Structure 1
């Protein structure tokens, strides 16, 4: 058994033998002494029809298995191959579980082999892999995979993957192997022998690996010495752009099939002009402009020439990755001088080595996700230069663990301390202070703004990409939020003296001088605080239900939202809420007072002292937020609201407050403080006017340049906008009829486009109705239906699944209106169910509407319409992502032609042919056009 591994893969009729699902194909590959020596493959007759979805996925049909042997006739042959060997599978729980159920049901003994799960092992050894599905892993590790979802080929690929994983294991340093060995008993795979052999081998090795260094008993990647070259630029900006954009320039030399785009150079010049004149700028750059490169070039030139850093802020981490991984490396090829770029995020993104080592040492009783997280981080520390957790994909509860070991828990301010020197966050800050370009996100930019510019290195010029998100991000940071999970997690993190908690560890490690701490009083107060927290949030949940009995409308995220102005809808009930919130603040304040004397203990471990200060800060944070939300009231300047999970736990409550008007705050705290802020996005105008966005952001008109950069794409020939004129009117209580018409249109258009459709909804309720109706009428043999919030997975996972399957239809809401790029033949139609107006009863919209009315303005014209137009432009922009794309935008909402305001939508997108006719005529035209 020592060197014999048997790799197993099964194809089945479904996921559960308990539901009478059966094996239809088995593939086995034998590895001996790291060489594939044997293979076995067979179809198996399941004695039941194979579901169409499985046939689509695997290519195995009823005809293929009709004359195949039944399982019991092959069982002995299968088990003989597995004798005296490790059993390996990609998700071994599934394959071994299924095989054992089949064996048991036919009177055979269950297998009890030692097992290795290549999913688990890959997560540990390749923590930076983008996906752990076999097909994606094979691509990541450059393993050829010709026939996914066929048993023998999957077994071969899994075998090659296992050999690759063994090689990776052998490249790890002694300290990492030793720590993994400590965690091994909590994993699903039997890795003890592999790890122990490698540990013994390394223990007697004299070779010293120069890639790693040891810190607090852990192996970490050795830091490279970074040289910061500074250069005096003497070339003019015009000449600089000539050498890049013009014929024979660097772009032509380094990019295949480069075509000069006038708009790209125009944008670069506008950015530079704003920098030189110390003005702000609003630049709308339509899809295909190449705006990222267009703003990076003048930013880098200006930063190097003036020797003053420039900040670039994005809304999504996806765009940050694109900047660092794609655009910056390209620019290094294009320009003839060195420049330095740094990425800076909030402290919570970076790991603290000290906190992680403490968790490894002291926290032994972990659940599986935490053990897996620790194992992944141990390997990742041998690879990462940044310590930024966004480089890896942790299991879900791994992120809760990471919060405890992030730099957010550090209180390291002494530059001479070893902890400061080894802090990834402090290193990122130092790198940012020395950089020409600092890349960050809107969240940290706004946190910095609210905290008087104490977090980011000083700057006077900045680029704000995806600038249409700046106002909402700033509003969140100027407001406050609190939810049950945050409050209870904070308390659980501290714990009681009698629990195996942080507090008991603190008291155990704070010498014997504990007469300063009243343990009995703490436990009593702590219990009261915990119960009061639970009672308060349950009370709020019931309060919202009571207030909204007559109005059961849900937002598109499936939550009930209720706005409160300080006095609430029911005075008696609300007074009870206020009393409970007040009582909780007293309890939390008393807990801080009990902890305070411990800060004076001189014998306390540094790490515990930092955690003590952090936990006291967290208690104070909850007090501040409770007082802000419940005990202060300025309804003219602030909107406060409660959201509850309609079908969730009875304490699933979320509290929010935001300023009603962000324009004055942004004007005073941001635009008046900086020399030049460039705001850019593909969606900043309504009917070619920037007025709406200027007013919303508080951009001083006298200091604002504006420019609209047209797309190089030929929308006139690439896109058709089609609007049916015969859909039921949703206003007259005909929601079911409208959803039925949308569903029928989806199905009819899918026949024309072979699926490849993205359908955008404005409410989750409508999406669900359409999904379940489509499930009844759609041909499941032909179309793969994927729905946000119903199909499992994140937005990026749903998008990948959509691109993986032919003839797929993707239903999305909220976040799918923007930031989803599906270029080429994968997407042929974007269908928009309703014009994306904000629900009129949304708390923030209500408050802003009231504010505008008080100023004598029309909320629809000033707020609802511009918001909807910009959202519509984002949805429209999902279709055409390259010059080769071609498709139809199908808008089910006839208001775009019938309503007086409809022209604002059509006039705000590129000029395209518009068809407004019966559904039947439109479908005929669509088929002819394709």
Structure 2
């Protein structure tokens, strides 16, 4: 490029130059003619001490800056560097304003030229990345990044990133670049001139599209291919019956394969389940290798028996791991190609027709424009059209709701049907050997006629301990205050370019007169908006009344039952909810009436108008879901036993409030809509039994014991040699001391343990209040200054981010509640000590727990033994499973809750985990043992 780029990175004492923060390092890399020319770097004396957290982040300390120039001394050179250049930074909205302030303070003119943000550029050109942090981008692009958070290293990496992004942009199809260039002038940085420059060069040469790319209706997209559904000539051996035959398959792909008898045993049970059409439940301990143990017999059944198998797992990450890792291994083992497909709900897929029409809108809304540009690039490489591949902003996700696929309401009017992603996924599923889906998707199809999964007679449900909860969530509903307000705003209460006004324009154009006058509908919308404010305002006050019961935790759940509607204090809520439901119903009726009249005119509608009508029908699906939410809130649906509750964050009321509703039991639904309709359902997990019995799990998921085969396969790990299980005998029982004293004793105990284990410890809590108290006591003790303490709900970041940070540091302690009891995989020495503060009984006031216990009482059962205890035992097993992830792992397991040895039910916890000798000992003895053990 003829232009000269200056790529800048700054290190500073803080984020706010106007509040006194100053620069401590400056670096600039010059790029000309598409090549890096030179680099200028200098430390800068800030005139103030470097804060400790900045020193930890950057490695820059006061001694390094002692002889550095002040900014005014290097300002002339920086000013000359910037003159006539294009300013580039990774997050330009930080670096440029900070530099401008320093220049102004030093008496120099501010930079006046164009600027480019490589974060924004990377979002567009690589829309499928998980993270756009500079270090993560460097890793994904294999760019050397020696010293993250030092300006010279960051600036050089940003310069290389810029060149790579421009290179990738130049490979995009001409039609894609034309659209990107047109949209780019609504971005925050000046990327438009880059796209225009690349476009101008592209137009000078005839374009040869890659063979896997086509241009249809002005949009470039990857061509779709489906394996032939004709006669299957693939040859495959018979199922390997003996251990030696099985071992051949595994040794073909694993260099140092070690036979796992449990894996072979599980393979045979899955095979027998398919052959005998018998539902089977298998608990396979950690290390058995259950994924390949069910995939191998599934492949034999699908290919030799010509009957496809559906695999359902819990999360999106596990779905992709199955397809991208495990199935690839399976193909190598089988030495035959497998037809596999990933199936998700319709709304996961893009509607190309709606997207095409949205590109014609004259809108400059930033997040919409960014999402459009991301999708245009994504279409050149996606084969699925699945939104989970995209990293959209929150605003981009709102835009997706407009363009998602959710059926056709105007018949065959969609010109994109031949290339539709959802139809392609269905077609691929019809020819698949193995289809992969998730529990939520499987449950959402229950009872539908036809169902997406009708053609799969065999189903394997992995991570089955999550299945009952997922079924409850999927068969339930949730409606949040923000979601409702967004729907009302979409319809057009305040903006005249929204749906209602566009519908008015259309009906006037075609001479349609609705039963409801425009003024009446607008009045209804205003009343609805006001009533929603009133309803959630009252509910927020009800929630705040429970604040004293939260023990300092900001998130609260508050159950609503029918008895409350009879109370005088709740009459205002009931009346408001009834009024809202009536208004929602009236507005829906008015919209449907006009849409039906418009459909009669469908032959004369333009494509833009057709796309709008499809979008409005999508909107009405959400509107009807909201109506259902109001019915549930009022307790009007008596078809099934259901539990209704409010949940929200006390710091953000009423905005955070959500109405939730779930069935108390899903057993009968699963029996009727899943097990009765399939030849065989195999359910497997590492944690399904309580005291070696499957009864609790079978009851929850609705499988009659007499009609199911149950199998328990032990882990190959030698837990008695890999784990030291300790119950301290010198800590008090929390019930006798109270939480405050217990927290102090626990913190003192863990400080000593942490010093001996050198961190590498995870502490699991059932109460956020106890976690918070122990964390602060340990953090403020002054004894762990060289340790990194990471706490859920205190340290910022998601569960995966906190876990990743824990692995980064040699001396780290991870404090977790709820979600940390399972699904965390920290193998090796990163986790050497697992501590359970309390046995994981669910809080009795938790809405679903309370409702299930009420239900059991009406059946004459003991809620503790029938629900609370088995549920706690399963969570205990899941927590224990975090410690040993590999055959070579060793660890200390400490339970601080004395109930495990002082109560009659405590033995149920110990019997449910692998056989490990329990040691009752004091702290001194434990410290000596840890020193020898680790």
TM-score by length of 2: 0.93
1:923 deviation in Å? 3.0
Q: Tell me whether 323-332 or 535-544 shows the greater mean CA deviation.
A: 535-544
- Aligned residue among 669, 673, 677 for 1:665: 669
> 1:756 and 1:507 mapped to 2: Cα distance?
64
Deviations 1:45-104 (A, max 9, x none): 334333333333333333322233333322223333222212222222222233233333
On the 8 A contact 1:543/1:573 being kept in 2, the answer is no
On the 8 A contact 2:353/2:415 being kept in 1, the answer is no
- The alignment status of 1:222 with 2:231, answered yes or no, reads no
1:710 deviation in Å? 1.8
> 2:76 and 2:382 mapped to 1: Cα distance?
48
Q: Tell me whether 438-447 or 710-719 shows the greater mean CA deviation.
A: 710-719
- The alignment status of 1:5 with 2:5, answered yes or no, reads yes
On the 8 A contact 2:2/2:32 being kept in 1, the answer is no
Task: Pick closer, same or farther for the CA change 1:75–1:810 going to 2, 3 Å.
Answer: farther
- Unmatched runs of 5 consecutive residues or more in structure 2: none
- Unmatched runs of 5 consecutive residues or more in structure 1: none
> 1:559 and 1:635 mapped to 2: Cα distance?
30
- Aligned residue among 635, 639, 658 for 1:654: 658
On the 8 A contact 1:496/1:522 being kept in 2, the answer is no
- 1:597 aligns with 594
TM alignment of 1:623-638, pairs within 5 A: 623-632=627-636, 634=638, 637-638=641-642
RMSD: 2.6
Q: Give SS of 2:789's match.
A: strand
- The alignment status of 1:467 with 2:464, answered yes or no, reads yes
Q: Give SS of 1:418's match.
A: coil
On the 8 A contact 2:481/2:654 being kept in 1, the answer is no
Task: Pick closer, same or farther for the CA change 1:880–1:369 going to 2, 3 Å.
Answer: farther
- 2:238 aligns with 236
1:635 deviation in Å? 10
> 2:699 and 2:66 mapped to 1: Cα distance?
70
TM alignment of 1:469-868, pairs within 5 A: 469-496=466-493, 499-510=496-507, 511-516=509-514, 518-546=517-545, 548=546, 552-553=549-550, 558-568=554-564, 571-595=567-591, 596-601=593-598, 602=601, 603-604=604-605, 605-632=609-636, 634=638, 637-650=641-654, 652-732=656-736, 734-778=738-782, 782-868=786-872
- Aligned residue among 426, 433, 437 for 1:436: 433
On the 8 A contact 1:52/1:780 being kept in 2, the answer is no
TM alignment of 1:410-449, pairs within 5 A: 410-411=407-408, 414=411, 417-449=414-446
> 2:662 and 2:54 mapped to 1: Cα distance?
49
1:882 deviation in Å? 1.8
TM alignment of 1:63-462, pairs within 5 A: 63-210=63-210, 211-224=212-225, 226-228=227-229, 230-231=232-233, 235-238=237-240, 242-243=244-245, 245-246=246-247, 249-362=248-361, 364-366=363-365, 368-408=366-406, 410-411=407-408, 414=411, 417-452=414-449, 454-462=451-459
> 1:159 and 1:780 mapped to 2: Cα distance?
39
1:268 deviation in Å? 0.8
> 2:830 and 2:88 mapped to 1: Cα distance?
35
On the 8 A contact 1:231/1:338 being kept in 2, the answer is no
1:233 deviation in Å? 5.6
1:920 deviation in Å? 3.9
Q: Give SS of 1:345's match.
A: coil
- 1:902 aligns with 906
Q: Tell me whether 587-596 or 859-868 shows the greater mean CA deviation.
A: 587-596
> 2:187 and 2:778 mapped to 1: Cα distance?
41
Deviations 1:747-790 (A, max 9, x none): 43333333333222223333333344444235675223333233
> 2:98 and 2:737 mapped to 1: Cα distance?
50
Deviations 1:117-138 (A, max 9, x none): 2222111111122322222211
> 1:453 and 1:727 mapped to 2: Cα distance?
59
1:611 deviation in Å? 2.4
Task: Pick closer, same or farther for the CA change 1:828–1:606 going to 2, 3 Å.
Answer: same
On the 8 A contact 1:497/1:523 being kept in 2, the answer is no
On the 8 A contact 2:236/2:336 being kept in 1, the answer is no
Q: Give SS of 1:643's match.
A: strand
- 1:39 aligns with 39
Q: Give SS of 2:377's match.
A: helix
> 2:4 and 2:812 mapped to 1: Cα distance?
42
1:532 deviation in Å? 1.6
Q: Give SS of 1:722's match.
A: strand
On the 8 A contact 2:475/2:662 being kept in 1, the answer is yes
> 1:924 and 1:877 mapped to 2: Cα distance?
25
Q: Give SS of 1:36's match.
A: strand
Task: Pick closer, same or farther for the CA change 1:860–1:175 going to 2, 3 Å.
Answer: same
On the 8 A contact 1:53/1:780 being kept in 2, the answer is no
On the 8 A contact 1:828/1:888 being kept in 2, the answer is yes
1:446 deviation in Å? 0.8
**When the two structures are aligned, how many residues end up with a matched partner?**
922
Q: Tell me whether 866-875 or 729-738 shows the greater mean CA deviation.
A: 729-738
1:684 deviation in Å? 0.6
> 1:352 and 1:775 mapped to 2: Cα distance?
51
Q: Give SS of 2:131's match.
A: coil
1:900 deviation in Å? 2.3
1:271 deviation in Å? 0.6
Task: Pick closer, same or farther for the CA change 1:772–1:508 going to 2, 3 Å.
Answer: farther
> 2:750 and 2:77 mapped to 1: Cα distance?
49
> 1:505 and 1:632 mapped to 2: Cα distance?
34
1:440 deviation in Å? 0.7
Q: Tell me whether 481-490 or 526-535 shows the greater mean CA deviation.
A: 481-490
- The alignment status of 1:28 with 2:25, answered yes or no, reads no
On the 8 A contact 1:124/1:379 being kept in 2, the answer is yes
Deviations 1:160-209 (A, max 9, x none): 11111110010111222222223323323211221111222233432231
Deviations 1:545-598 (A, max 9, x none): 44x37x623697x43322222130761232222222221122122112222133
On the 8 A contact 2:6/2:82 being kept in 1, the answer is yes
Task: Pick closer, same or farther for the CA change 1:883–1:360 going to 2, 3 Å.
Answer: same
> 1:646 and 1:413 mapped to 2: Cα distance?
45
Q: Give SS of 1:361's match.
A: coil
